[in-house]
Amino acid sequence: MSERKLVCGIEIHQQLDTKKLFCSCESGLRDEGYGAYYRRLRPTNSEMGEVDRAALAQFQREIDYRYQCCEGCTCLVELDEEPPHPVNEDAMNTVLTFSKMLGASIVDEVQFMRKIVVDGSNTSGFQRTSLIATDGSLEVNGKNIGILSVCLEEDAARKIESDGNETMYRLDRLGIPLIEVATAPDMETPEEVMEVALRLGTLLRATKKVKRGIGTIREDLNISIPGGSRVEIKGVQELRMLPDFIRNEMDRQRMLLDIKDILNGRGTRPAEFEPIDVTEVFSECGSKVIRGALENKGKVIAARLPGFAGVMNGGGGNLRLGSEMAQYARTKGVKGIFHSDELPNYGIGNEFVDSLRSYLCLSEHEAFVICADREKKATDALRVAVERANIALECVPEETRDPLPDGTTKYSRPLPGAARMYPETDVPPMIITADRIRTIEENMPEFPEEIEKRLVSRYSINTQQAGQIVRQSRDELFVKISEASGMPAIAAAVLTNTYTELEHEGLNMGSVDDGHVLRMFDLLKAGRFSKEALPSLLREMAKGSDADGAIRALGIEAVDSDEASRVIAAIVKEREDFVKSKGQDAIGPLMGPVMGALRGKIDGKQANEILAREIKKLTG
Amino acid sequence: MSYSVSLSKLLGSIGAKEGSKLSVESGGRTYKGTLMPHHDFSGDDIVILKMSSGYNIGIRVCDDSVIKVLEQPVRTDKKETAVEAKEGLPGITLISTGGTIASYVDYRTGAVHPALSASELVNAVPEIREMANISAKMLFSIFSENMNVEHWQKIAKAVEQEINGGADAVIIPHGTDTMGYTAAALSFMLGDVPKPVVLVGAQRSSDRPSSDASSNLTAAVRFCVKGNAAGVFVVMHDTPGDDSFAVHLGTRVRKMHTSRRDAFRSINAPPFARMDKEGNIKTAAAGRQITSDSAVARTDMERSTILLQYYPGMDPCLFEDMVMRSKGIVISGSGLGHVSEDMVPLIRKACDNGSVVVATSQCLGGRTNLNIYNTGRDMLSAGAVTVLDMLPETAYVKLMWALANSASADEAKKMMATPVAGEMSDRRTHDV
């Protein structure tokens, strides 16, 4: 077997539609928050007596945090002002059910842990999490994909704004139960990763206890290529972007391996970090960045990088170590760095590059990197930039990276080690009894395939429609409509084709209330409008109307000809003098007000006939 | 490691101890991980393993389970580095007594323990070493619900010794449950103490990144260095945020919430001072000047003193023995300080027997007054005394101290009516 080009596993985080994991708050998001409690978080020693490297990196950024409360979905528990309550039973049952669906082994006793996270997204400074089951599996396209673990944990607070020194979080999301499911690194192509993610999503939704909509499910990717290292891309929200992130990360790791070969081929040695104050070289420089920094009591600091020329930005844009260095530097709070491969540019002319080289005693092609900011910040930033450059001689570093909207990623922090977990002593361990497992097994939800079969046989819809309805978790709604209206064919067409078309128009069909849709079908059954009006009605309902409101707004309720005659007679009567003077010539001018009153309810021809009749009645 | 007898035996027989790497084969599954201590509420037949992912899980051990030791743990000793005193900085002694502020999750026992040493506590907040030369001592290590009168006496003696030994201030990390009582006891025992004596606690243990221990300790040090006031104080959060702190007088403070960071409140008086996150101190009223006098601890306490909470339907028969065996009785009465008329004869009997009965109010806020209603006047006639707006708990502590430091019940009553450490006042304004 040839070596795999990609080793990839995914972790899916799915919000559950229950109350919060450790308190009785609603688990919803709010548009507004109030209050702004100030907090700081300090990294603590782990049980192995070490401070976690990721936690320490975060604390050194010296960021303060503020926390907003929200109506109905935050209490003292989210504020870390009250210990957690016992774990939510609904959420626990859901994760046990899901574990069983994957054939995973459930632990005998669940122990909640504190996973240290000091980026401020948890008021406590840790996320509460527990391992529920291990060793499951999943079949996708005939291949077995291993499931390493299923965990139950709490979601983090939402970042609302950040200005470099202070970050504001809203607490509504904190504490929403999450199922975290991690696959083995069994996927070998970007497309396969996507298939597995889709399948896991469908199984999660089959529990009927998960939240829907953007942000309620998030993917983390663990990616490595031969010779590369494990890199974690955290928090991808859009499923369709997964293959892009994977391809781009594979390219990035290949690029770093090329750079390693080039550097080792040259015999480049690790650069010693020696920060040098070169402010005087740039005193006359017109670069906006440098001028801004100098006006703000900053300095320009430089460091030599012998042997690194051409890989920071070279190979026709294919070698980009400089951008990796810059991402590390930015974690120290600077806007960026300049390296010799990209100069002259950015308002730094050749004369400055030359005089800097001579100031640093560098020959013409030797590399350097500079940073303009407060002295300490700039020095710290350059230190990590040079460290990053030196790592390029050795390997692809293990990192956590953040997804960007264009399918690429940026460095976020080192991969956290196992040291960041310790027991959550405020939550007692929970024995999973045989009785409980039995009850779970007796109440297993239908698998998606089973639901599909049932829909096909009972409602005579085709398998394609049934598949789509189930994948989009609209099967319960479909059954309700079909049972109430006796129109499964129309219901199926609406829930598949019409919904898809409207979603392509950019409407959020998930926001349409099931009750409103049911009411719409009731009205259809009662003959209040024709089925051709369904798409327009749903379009209106997606904007917030209920079924009756949509019908009124569109004015499409059918009227019988007696009702139409009454409306038209009234219009004629109001204009009696005009009608008497014009006779049948009044039809033209009166069609406007008539259609204004009856548009969509009767057609124009019928209106014209009734109007003629009513005018005749009045004029004799 | 507190596993059940049979499990301990089994683990011991194969040489497994906390930190050993084990493989556990049970119920057809095999788990590998590090043996962790047993939790109080874990099942008797459960072993807890830490997996390589960092997660702990509980695994049921049955008769056919196979446990093997894969590796034994390597112990690493913690290094403690000596700290040199910096010239020009005040000297503060930190007398640790335990409580949440000094607690951490002991990963070998898995529970929160009041076991952080005093120097570990200081080392966890290195910035306070820039403000003062701190010498740390551990007097004892208990949660404050287990604190008793002897502990108060030991703390008072230790404070006296430190101040007379040259300390510019003393900080006492303390559990929060009964910190108000200890603060009151030290206030009376130490009287006109010439230096700041500051009790400080935490509502979140020190092992958490969000702990209020470090910020409260920093605020306590700042108050000792810049507060310019002698006396016994409590320093804690003033709001749920880490940016505001309150300095309370030791006799006026009460824990008013089970879990919030700002649980401590001054009752019937504003906090002595407030502090922002930069350490700026705003004092409500001038404090007692710091002097170079000696500290004197008068630590005698009359132990046969009780604190009774009056409630509707309180049956005097149930309490008669207890009351008649006590030299001091503080009643936390209703409203202005009342008990029911059924209870008045028992008060009379106790007073006639030479005991001191002090009426306070369970309202906490406001002054007692037994002149307004009949029952109150009857209580006064029976011999009860009132102590203005003194907190019931403070009155209880003061009565123990007054009885032990006076020659007669009448003298003790006079002491009760005379402010010693700001514990009472006859004037309250609308804003406290």
Residue A407 has pLDDT above 50, yes or no: yes
- Count CB atoms within 10 A of the CB of residue B71: 10
Give pLDDT tens digits for A57-80: 666 666 789 999 999 999 999 999
> Between A18 and B75, where is the model more confident?
A18
A457 — pLDDT class (breaks 50, 70, 90):
very high
In a domain, A521, yes or no: yes
Residue A87 is predicted with a pLDDT of 97
B301 — pLDDT class (breaks 50, 70, 90):
very high
In a domain, A138, yes or no: yes
Answer CATH for B5-71 from 3.20.20.70, 1.20.1530.20, 2.60.120.10, 2.30.30.520? 2.30.30.520
Name which of A83, A124, A429 is nearest B210 (Cβ-Cβ).
A124
Residue A60 is predicted with a pLDDT of 61
B391 — pLDDT class (breaks 50, 70, 90):
very high
Same domain, A323 and A213: no
Which of A110-119, A439-448, B305-314 is predicted least confidently? A110-119
Same domain, A248 and A275: no
| Residue A152 structural domain | 7-264
Average pLDDT of the segment spanning A347-360? 92
| Residues B349, A601: Cα–Cα separation, whole Å | 94
Residues shown for chain B: 432
> Residues B21, B34, B93, B255: which is the catalytic one?
B255
> For the domain B91-283, what is the CATH code?
3.40.50.1170
Residue B6 has pLDDT above 90, yes or no: no
Same domain, A204 and A281: no
Do the Cβ atoms of A326 and A341 come closer than 8 Å?
no
Amino acid at position A195, single letter: E
Residue A48 is predicted with a pLDDT of 43
In a domain, A433, yes or no: no
Measured in angstroms, the CA of B300 and the nearest CA of chain A are apart by 38
SS3 A288: helix
Same domain, A191 and A53: yes
Do the Cβ atoms of A49 and A422 come closer than 8 Å?
no
Same domain, A466 and A578: no
Measured in angstroms, the CA of B111 and the nearest CA of chain A are apart by 6
Overall fold of domain B305-417: Rossmann fold (3.40.50)
A454 — pLDDT class (breaks 50, 70, 90):
very high
Name the domain boundary from A528, A554, A580.
Answer: A554
* For chain B, percent of residues with pLDDT exceeding 70: 94
Q: Do domains B5-71 and B91-283 have the same CATH topology?
A: no
Residue A555 has pLDDT above 90, yes or no: no
Do the Cβ atoms of B340 and B316 come closer than 8 Å?
no
A401 — pLDDT class (breaks 50, 70, 90):
very high
Give pLDDT tens digits for A217-257: 999 999 999 999 999 999 998 888 899 999 999 999 999 99
Q: Cβ contacts of residue B334 below 8 Å, gap of 6+?
A: B310, B312, B361, B362, B363
Sign of CA dihedral A603, A606, A610, A615: positive
Name the domain boundary from A264, A285, A314.
Answer: A264
Residue A267 has pLDDT above 80, yes or no: yes
| Residues A308, A440: Cα–Cα separation, whole Å | 60
* For chain A, percent of residues with pLDDT exceeding 70: 94
Q: How far is CA B383 from the centre of its chain?
A: 33
ipTM given for this complex: 0.90
Q: Do B29 and A135 touch (CB under 8 A)?
A: yes
Average pLDDT of the segment spanning B237-259? 97
| Residues A139, A202: Cα–Cα separation, whole Å | 13
SS3 B185: helix
- The residue with tokens 């450790």 is A22
Do the Cβ atoms of A126 and A114 come closer than 8 Å?
yes
Query: In terms of Cα–Cα distance, which of B205, B146, B44, B4 is closest to A425?
Result: B205
| Residues A10, A234: Cα–Cα separation, whole Å | 10
- Count CB atoms within 10 A of the CB of residue A7: 18
Chain B residues close to A129, C-beta within 8 Å: 55
In a domain, A432, yes or no: no
Domain extents in chain B: 5-71, 91-283, 305-417
Max Cα-Cα span within chain B: 79
> Nearest-5° angle of CA A261, CA A264, CA A265?
80
Q: Output the CA–CA distances (angstroms, integers) from residue B202 to B226, B296, B397, in the order listed.
A: 22, 29, 23
Name the domain boundary from A372, A392, A412.
Answer: A392
Q: Which ranges in A496-603 belong to alpha helices (H)?
A: 499-504, 514-525, 534-542, 547-554, 561-574, 576-582, 587-598
Same domain, A248 and A326: no
A1 — pLDDT class (breaks 50, 70, 90):
very low
What's the number of domains chain A is made of?
Answer: 4
Chain B residues close to A49, C-beta within 8 Å: 76, 78
Mean pLDDT, chain A, whole residue set? 90
Q: Which ranges in B112-173 belong to alpha helices (H)?
A: 118-123, 149-164
Residue in A22, A39, A46 to test binding to B, most B beta-carbons within 10 Å = A39
Q: Is A267 left (phi over 0), alpha (psi -120 to 50) or beta?
A: left
Same domain, A277 and A198: no
Query: In terms of Cα–Cα distance, which of A10, A488, A6 is closest to A204?
Result: A10
| Residues A97, A440: Cα–Cα separation, whole Å | 6
Give pLDDT tens digits for B195-218: 999 999 999 988 788 999 989 999
Same domain, A291 and A248: no
Same domain, A150 and A244: yes
Q: Cβ contacts of residue A228 below 8 Å, gap of 6+?
A: A253, A254, A256, A257, A396
Same domain, A297 and A167: no
User: Which DSSP string corresponds to B203-219?
Assistant: SS-TTSTT-SHHHHHHH
Amino acid at position A340, single letter: S
Give pLDDT tens digits for B101-142: 776 665 554 555 555 676 777 777 878 888 999 998 889 888
> Between A44 and A592, where is the model more confident?
A592
Same domain, A363 and A486: no
In a domain, A441, yes or no: no
Same domain, A46 and A68: yes
Question: For this structure, is B97 an active site residue?
Answer: no
Structure tokens at A267: 């015999």
Tell me, what CATH number does A332's domain have?
A: 3.30.1360.30
Average pLDDT of the segment spanning A259-275? 95
* For chain B, percent of residues with pLDDT exceeding 90: 73
In a domain, A397, yes or no: no
- The residue with tokens 């209870």 is B343
Chain B residues close to A111, C-beta within 8 Å: 39, 48, 55-58
pTM of the model: 0.83
